[in-house]
Amino acid sequence: MERLRVVGGASLRGSVHVSGAKNSSLKLMAATLLAEGRSSLLDVPAITDVEYMSELLSRLGAEVSRQGTTVTVDVPEKVAHEAPYELVRRLRASICVLGPLLARCGAADVALPGGDAIGSRGLDMHIAGLERLGAHVEVQHGYVVARAPGGLKGAMIGLDFPSVGATENILMAAVLADGETVLDNVAREPEIIDICEMLTNMGAKIDGAGTSTLRVQGVDRLRPVQHTTVPDRIVAGTWAVAALMTRGDVTVTNGRAEHLELVLDKLMAAGAVVETHGQGGFRVAMSGRPRAIDVVTLPYPGFPTDLQPMVVALNALADGTAMITENVYEARFMFVNELARLGADVRIDGHHAVVRGRETLSGAPVIATDIRAGAGLVLAGLVAEGETLVSAVHHIDRGYPDFVGQLNQLGADVTREPDPDRFDD
Ligand code: EPU
């Protein structure tokens, strides 16, 4: 087990490059299963979640290799259809092989990933959608067991909530179904547009990417593809908040400002100067203490829940009181108990958090409970007086490639070291 030692006080300055999105790469990797042959994914981030997904695809029979930022997946004619618990439990996103396996093999046994530190994370919409496509789905002995021996058939499907994962799973099943599928109230995240683009280049027929309705005409087969991953808007947003909190001046390259419109607006409301920079980049500069900003998390284009811990940390130091409302996960405020150890004044009432800004925070040992909580705690550590020790850094490694290297390149003082106090998680 390792931890990060964060010495507070530095202003982040300089330029930082953002890689492809974790939450796209993992799904694009799953989508390669839909076509026999060799697909190449470019700009895949060097994070542990990608390693876990590679292991899962290998277990299903694919050959996966990485060269630099390119991941190649060679998919055999016959793929195995069982995603076992020992792999799935490490990576919730492995549930996104369910749709592709069902479409490709007519069968899928995928272990239930279970809940985690941010909420229960149900699968009811994934399952209901696949059933509408004609699959027989049961949960047995901790597995989602799905069968469609006669193939899948297009259908009209409406989601109760624009779930990212359910949209992806049903879409990946529908592209090889017989006939037309109309999928309503779908997620509109840039990662959904990314997978639609990739599937279309594989030969799928999809209309409406980026809107609330996807229309899919099923095709008999897809071909392998080369595809470049959309940049990671959550990593880009993390750098933007870090620049603001540390009263720095950071240019984010390969960070699409248009995917962060609401986030950047909020940072301007807090007092930051935000400018677009060159092609596909932006700059965030800040002097003085931020003003408190209210935030409500919602599916895209609303404020992303994955940046909620960072704005709670920002408000912990801001001038004024902010109300943060979390609408996506019921337990995503858990991490504020750790932030409180740094002196943050946060009161939780259901899915609202009231954050009263303090002039200073003070460094202390804290534990990262998930990827984003970990990043939020590191940002708080950057502005806290003294040293903050962030344990369970493996959570951060799941989503932020070379976080420590990039922080230090911007002038932070962060070191990675063995954690003598923790042996497991
Ligand atoms: N939900 C259900 N039933 C379902 C599907 C979802 O109740 O069938 C609930 C979930 O429990 C959750 C909410 O709906 O409370 C939103 O879930 P969604 O399906 O949209 O999220 P996801 O696909 O499981 C992805 C990202 C998350 C990100 C969310 C929302 C990946 C691998 N994960 O999760 O990313 O927070 O979308 O944008 O793409 C992260 O990167 O740290 C992370 C948690």
In this prediction, residue 358 carries a pLDDT of: 97
In this prediction, residue 122 carries a pLDDT of: 87
Question: Using CA atoms, how far apart are residues 182 and 225, in angstroms rounded to an integer?
Answer: 25
In this prediction, residue 312 carries a pLDDT of: 98
Question: Using CA atoms, how far apart are residues 128 and 126, in angstroms rounded to an integer?
Answer: 6
> Are 308 and 375 in a shared domain?
yes
Residues 6+ apart with CB under 8 A from 29: 41, 44, 50, 53, 54, 57, 64, 71, 73
In this prediction, residue 116 carries a pLDDT of: 73
Contact (CB, 8 A) for 302 and 296:
yes
Give the pocket of ligand 1 (CB within 6 Å): 23, 26, 93, 119-126, 161, 163-166, 305-306, 328-329, 371-372, 399
> Are 335 and 321 in a shared domain?
yes
> 48, 132, 161: which to mutate for ligand 1, most atoms within 8 A of CB?
161
Match 């419109």 to its residue by tokens: 261
In this prediction, residue 425 carries a pLDDT of: 46
What separation in Å is there between the alpha carbon of 163 and the centre of ligand 1?
Answer: 6
- Of 191, 213, 228, the residue at which a domain comes to its end is 228
> Are 52 and 196 in a shared domain?
yes
Atom 15 of ligand 1, nearest CA residue: 329
**Which atom in ligand 1 lies closest to the alpha carbon of residue 187?**
20
In this prediction, residue 350 carries a pLDDT of: 94
> Are 315 and 360 in a shared domain?
yes
What separation in Å is there between the alpha carbon of 285 and the centre of ligand 1?
Answer: 31
In this prediction, residue 118 carries a pLDDT of: 82
Residue 176 domain-assigned (yes or no):
yes
> Are 180 and 249 in a shared domain?
no
- Domain membership of residue 133 as a residue range: 22-228
Kindly state the DSSP code that residue 409 receives in the 8-state scheme. H
Number of domains in the chain: 2
- Of 166, 198, 228, the residue at which a domain comes to its end is 228
**Which atom in ligand 1 lies closest to the alpha carbon of residue 163?**
20
- Of 200, 228, 256, the residue at which a domain comes to its end is 228
Residues labelled as active-site residues: 116
> Are 11 and 45 in a shared domain?
no
Residue 423 domain-assigned (yes or no):
no
Residue 425 domain-assigned (yes or no):
no
The answer to whether the annotation marks 249 as part of a ligand binding site is no
For 169, the enclosing helix (H) or strand (E) is: helix 164-174
Residue 424 domain-assigned (yes or no):
no
- For the chain, residues with pLDDT lower than 70 are 115, 422-425
> Are 200 and 298 in a shared domain?
no
What separation in Å is there between the alpha carbon of 270 and the centre of ligand 1?
Answer: 28
What separation in Å is there between the alpha carbon of 117 and the centre of ligand 1?
Answer: 13
What CATH number should be reported for the domain holding residue 135? 3.65.10.10
In this prediction, residue 113 carries a pLDDT of: 85
The answer to whether the annotation marks 205 as part of a ligand binding site is no
The answer to whether the annotation marks 306 as part of a ligand binding site is yes
